[in-house]
Amino acid sequence: MGLCSAQLATVTCLFIVVPHVLSQVAEFISIDCGGSSNYTDPRTGLGWVSDSEIIKYGKPVTLTSTDSNSMQYRSRREFPTDNKKYCYRLSTKERRRYIVRTTFLYGSSGSEEAYPKFQLYLDATKWATVTIQEVSRVYVEELIVRASSSYVDVCVCCAITGSPFISTLELRPLNLSMYATEFEDNFFLKVAARVNFGALSMDALRYPDDPYDRIWESDVNRRPNYLVGVAPGTIRINTSKNVNTMTHREYPPVRVMQTAVVGTQGLISYRLNLEDFPANALAYAYFAEIEDLGANETRKFKLVQPYFPGYSNAVVNIAENANGSYTLYEPSYMNVTFDFVLSFSFGKTKDSTRGPLLNAIEISKYLQISVTTDRNDVSVLDGIRLMSPDSDWANEGGDPCFPVLWSWVSCSSTSPPRVTKIALSRKSLRGEILPEINQMEALTELWLDGNGLTGILPDMSKLVNLKIMHLENNQLSGSLPGYLVHLPNLQELFIENNSFRGTIPSALLKGKVLFKYDNNPELQNVAQRNHSKLIMWILIAAVAVLLLVVGGGLALLCFHRKTKAADKGETTGTKKKSLLAYSAVRGGHLLDEGVAYFIPLLVLEEATDNFSKRVGKGSFGSVYYGRMKDGKEVAVKITADPSSHLNRQFVTEVALLSRIHHRNLVPLIGYCEEADRRLLVYEYMHNGTLGAHLYGSSDYKPLDWPARLQIAQDAAKGLEYLHNGCNPSIIHGDVKSSNILLDINMRAKVSDFGLSRQTEEDVTHVSSVAKGTVGYLDPEYYACQQLTEKSDVYSFGVVLFELLSGKKPVSAADFGPELNIVHWARSLIRKGDICGIIDPCILGNVKIESVWRVAEVANQCVEQHGHSRPSMQEVIVAIQDAVRIERGNEDELKSSTSSGSKAQSSRKTLLTSFLEIESPDNSRNSIAPAAR
């Protein structure tokens, strides 16, 4: 047998087509559970590894008479029937999408009363109940997930009958944004059906035909209630011509697209059962015209059943939708509700000469992701496990709290769950108690007695819920920290048989705490009264002296300030006072240090050499370079319109601006209002505007991608601060690349929020002409004349596209006279053509995933409707992701999945490629303002 298959392997190997997507294959993980050796499967050329060194638990079971000739199914791994979970950990790249697949072949059985029935989990999410009904059937469970950290845990547990087992475990990375959905922060996709219609045989089609190793089931299938109720006149067709599948992002294999069914009598219909339905689902239909139609022939049809308003009225005309024959057209149904029994049919339209055609379908159920245990808690527990790495208890896999608890922890029922108890008495722990334990705020019981712990007690002052702490019988040393007295809930503290030193805080001895401390030879409970009294007196004396010195100093300082303020007051006159008053009312306090101050016009004239060097023009007016007497370089802005009604606004703005301080906002240093001139004095930004760096000037060398990400992040933070950090919140209203300035260190700061409106005050103010800049203008604002934070988000999306492409937002040369960067970029993103967007200057030096991340969020920012756009906070998260991906720093645990963004849903737009009713792009174009 062994010889036989070895020969087979060499022979078959000669015929294996080496797939062109080699990178993916290298990352395939294929685990033969219960297998005894590593090998290459001759049928696919894929390498399989035995799990014998991956998992310590369970036992291999050899299947004697399996009629499946796959090597993977010669054995399986069976786990004990107990209250534990048994887990495999697969390493992943954070935010990358994967197929995770498990299979179960029970094989021949003795005389069991019942076949196994148990639970399958991915992390904390219940994936499936595996119910074996036929011993010789391979049950396949498949999830499409976006990894939220550097690993996923696949666990079996909770047997209802029989013993949990597993036959194979496979991990297949997907390319870029395949199967991206707008729900992926909260939902996995559980594959319910993936069918190749018109298949040439009964065998499923997978790797190497599908480089991603999806399993495309044949529609010639003997399963009960699967693809029954076939309409009369349905025929199977095939072609050997190539089909172009690169037009859409799911890349179904060519061989799947080369076959189809056709309803020659005008109807295709099928019925199939969908496990675990009714549910909300994501569905794809894959079409390619693979018959050569005559010039006067057409193939047009509609989805007749199930009826979805919106989808069902759209006419599918494959050749037209795909722009040609032998080309993929892939309408997606983003969120539809299907029943357990799904009947679907396509019917031809009256004016069509040919009946409907269908190449393949895919249906996946949205599976709500359950939140995993608090990450801080998990990382502390991981640290503790390393203190006794070979113990059984340290090797219980999966999430500490889900689906069943580790044997040595208890958890709260909060979301996310927190660890409330660590029970590790006498578990041969070595080393020091981890200082990070202070982060486990929910901890109520800590049992670490009877181990070999050494070192001092770390800070545990944040463990305010701690009731019981057992540290007896270790080798802990050092003094008893003071926080022990202040833990409000502590009831029981045992520290006998250690080497603690020093005195016992007296509160511990007389408090309500049950405190045991015998056998710590150097620990003293005699309060040393005389000494402490002396120390107290010395302390009191020292404090008194200190108070005197500080008090005197303060008095001097106040006096000095007052005189200074009076000096200024003389020159500024009444306007300064009104500003002060205003500020006092709004801010509740007077201007204090670090706040913009009045600068006389004379001083500014001198600093700017009589306004001789103009460095820019903002929406607020011209900007001049200046240098103050103390050497500080400044940018002085003169208001363009000195008409008197601006007066109050000016005062308002300055008062407001002077209270805004943020690293990523250009700071206002001072102001001047004199002789009908109004000036604002800002810190000078040495490296000019972002726009100039991207395309405006040849003085600068092109920015590389990490620099662009840094700038994007800086600017986003500045805007986020305006939206959320200010009260009242501030809408910038004119976000653009020329309003993002770069300081001497190339860090970005947002400028020109001088004309920003405060949301509260300005909602009633509806101006007749939309303010803002062509190319950046939120179409919704233009239509409704109402500025919101989401208008800034839109404009920022345009800036992101500029950063990606290095192109101007409006450019007849790049996009034609009708179009702008938004239309251009969106259409490329929809085609999945990210390389078409990237600035040639940086292409080749970037991680495409990182660029995608930014493109996806930019695409969301420019959604037609404000409510579909992300918040600036979410934009920042996306940019930080991109930074992390670019740095290749996947194991950073910082990114939180829960706070995550909706930003992944570039896919939403694909819907419109099916509907083609009203592309939002066109409508946006038509309402874009002509000029100004």
Find the part of the chain contacting ligand NAG (CB under 6 A) among 20-28, 419-427, 499-507, 750-758: 20-28
DSSP code per residue over 378-419: HHHHHHHHTTSTTSSGGG--S-SSSSS--TTEEE-SSSS--E
702: left (phi over 0), alpha (psi -120 to 50) or beta: beta
Closer of 286 and 366 to ligand NAG (Cβ): 366
Residue 280 interacting with ligand NAG (CB under 6 A) = yes
- Check if the beta carbon of residue 859 is closer than 8 Å to that of residue 826: yes
Residue 183 interacting with ligand NAG (CB under 6 A) = yes
Q: Which of 13, 90, 81 is nearest to 51 (CA)?
A: 90
Closer of 245 and 639 to ligand NAG (Cβ): 245
Residue 8 interacting with ligand NAG (CB under 6 A) = no
CB within 8 A of 226, min separation 6: which ones? Answer: 272, 273
Q: Give CA–CA dist 72/517, Å, rounded.
A: 59
Find the part of the chain contacting ligand NAG (CB under 6 A) among 74-82, 292-300, 699-707, 758-766: 292-300
> Of all helices (H) and strands (E), which one includes residue 283?
strand 279-286
The two structure tokens encoding residue 765: 């103010």
**Smallest separation (angstroms) from ligand NAG to the CB of 52:** 6
| Residues 136-155 within binding reach of ligand NAG (CB under 6 A) | none
Query: What is the bridge-based pairing of β-strands 757-758 and 730-731?
Result: antiparallel
Number of H helices, E strands in the chain: 21, 46
Closer of 99 and 130 to ligand NAG (Cβ): 99
**Smallest separation (angstroms) from ligand NAG to the CB of 309:** 12
Name the CA radius of gyration of the chain, rounded: 35
**What distances in angstroms separate CA 366 from CA 98, 152, 280, 860, one per listed residue?**
15, 18, 6, 21
Closer of 662 and 831 to ligand NAG (Cβ): 831
Residue number with the smallest Cβ distance to ligand NAG: 280
| Residues 344-363 within binding reach of ligand NAG (CB under 6 A) | 353
Q: Give CA–CA dist 53/395, Å, rounded.
A: 13
| Residues 647-686 within binding reach of ligand NAG (CB under 6 A) | none
Let me know if 123 is a catalytic residue. no
**Smallest separation (angstroms) from ligand NAG to the CB of 865:** 17
Residue 176 interacting with ligand NAG (CB under 6 A) = yes
Q: Which of 46, 150, 42 is nearest to 92 (CA)?
A: 150
**Smallest separation (angstroms) from ligand NAG to the CB of 24:** 5
Among 12, 24, 161, 724, interactor with ligand NAG by CB under 6 A = 24
Closer of 94 and 778 to ligand NAG (Cβ): 94
DSSP letter (8 states) at residue 324: S
Residue 23 interacting with ligand NAG (CB under 6 A) = yes
Closer of 38 and 532 to ligand NAG (Cβ): 38
Query: What is the bridge-based pairing of β-strands 279-286 and 234-238?
Result: unpaired
Q: Was 637 annotated as part of a binding site?
A: yes
**Smallest separation (angstroms) from ligand NAG to the CB of 801:** 21
Q: Give CA–CA dist 653/651, Å, rounded.
A: 5
**Smallest separation (angstroms) from ligand NAG to the CB of 327:** 9
- Chain centroid to CA 776: 26
| Residues 63-82 within binding reach of ligand NAG (CB under 6 A) | none
**Smallest separation (angstroms) from ligand NAG to the CB of 790:** 21
**Smallest separation (angstroms) from ligand NAG to the CB of 379:** 26
Closer of 653 and 849 to ligand NAG (Cβ): 849
Residue labelled with tokens 């190793």: 213
Residue 175 interacting with ligand NAG (CB under 6 A) = yes
**Smallest separation (angstroms) from ligand NAG to the CB of 670:** 52
Q: Which of 826, 848, 797, 799 is nearest to 907 (CA)?
A: 826
Find the part of the chain contacting ligand NAG (CB under 6 A) among 17-25, 140-148, 150-158, 631-639: 17-25
Closer of 24 and 729 to ligand NAG (Cβ): 24
The two structure tokens encoding residue 80: 């004990």
Catalytic option among 123, 153, 209, 734: 734
| Residues 46-65 within binding reach of ligand NAG (CB under 6 A) | 49-50, 52-53
Q: Give CA–CA dist 591/596, Å, rounded.
A: 8
Find the part of the chain contacting ligand NAG (CB under 6 A) among 60-68, 294-302, 310-318, 726-734: 294-302
Closer of 333 and 684 to ligand NAG (Cβ): 333
**Maximum separation of any 2 CA atoms in the chain, in Å:** 111
User: Per-residue x/- mask for ligand NAG, residues 25 to 44, rule CB under 6 A?
Assistant: ------------xx------
Among 135, 140, 200, 580, interactor with ligand NAG by CB under 6 A = 200
> Of all helices (H) and strands (E), which one includes residue 910?
helix 908-915
Tally Cβ neighbours within 10 Å of residue 20. Answer: 9
Residue 569 interacting with ligand NAG (CB under 6 A) = no
**Smallest separation (angstroms) from ligand NAG to the CB of 575:** 55
Residue 242 interacting with ligand NAG (CB under 6 A) = no
Alpha-carbon dihedral sign for residues 33, 39, 42, 48: positive
DSSP code per residue over 721-748: IIIIISSS-EE-S---GGGEEE-TTS-E
| Residues 729-758 within binding reach of ligand NAG (CB under 6 A) | none
Find the part of the chain contacting ligand NAG (CB under 6 A) among 21-29, 141-149, 885-893, 914-922: 21-29
DSSP letter (8 states) at residue 814: H
Closer of 52 and 391 to ligand NAG (Cβ): 52
Residue 335 interacting with ligand NAG (CB under 6 A) = yes
Q: Was 449 annotated as part of a binding site?
A: no
How would you class 743 by CB atoms within 10 Å of its CB: exposed for 0-12, middle for 13-18, buried for 19 or more?
A: middle
The two structure tokens encoding residue 683: 């810190």
| Residues 461-500 within binding reach of ligand NAG (CB under 6 A) | none
Among 8, 228, 235, 246, interactor with ligand NAG by CB under 6 A = 246
The full 3-state SS of 29-92, as one line of letters, equals: EEEECCCCCCEECCCCCCEEEECCCCCCCCEEEECCCCCCCCHHHHEEEECCCCCCEEEEEEEC
CB within 8 A of 271, min separation 6: which ones? Answer: 225, 227, 228, 229, 341, 342, 343, 344
- Determine the size of the site formed for ligand NAG (CB under 6 A): 25
**Smallest separation (angstroms) from ligand NAG to the CB of 799:** 27
Residue 238 interacting with ligand NAG (CB under 6 A) = yes
Q: Was 465 annotated as part of a binding site?
A: no
Among 69, 111, 296, 644, interactor with ligand NAG by CB under 6 A = 296
Closer of 60 and 702 to ligand NAG (Cβ): 60
Q: Give CA–CA dist 902/160, Å, rounded.
A: 38
Closer of 187 and 338 to ligand NAG (Cβ): 187
Tally Cβ neighbours within 10 Å of residue 308. Answer: 13
**Smallest separation (angstroms) from ligand NAG to the CB of 175:** 4
As beta bridge partners, residue 670 has: 597, 681
- According to DSSP H, which parts of 626-665 are helical? 646-657
- Check if the beta carbon of residue 242 is closer than 8 Å to that of residue 254: yes
Residue 922 interacting with ligand NAG (CB under 6 A) = no
Q: Give CA–CA dist 296/318, Å, rounded.
A: 15
Q: Which residue positions form the known binding site?
A: 637, 739, 752
Q: Active-site residue numbers?
A: 734
Q: Which residue positions form the known binding site for ATP?
A: 637
Q: Which residue positions form the known binding site for Mg(2+)?
A: 739, 752
Residues that bind ligand NAG (CB under 6 A): 21, 23-24, 37-38, 49-50, 52-53, 175-176, 183, 187, 200, 238, 246, 280, 294, 296-297, 323-324, 335, 353, 366
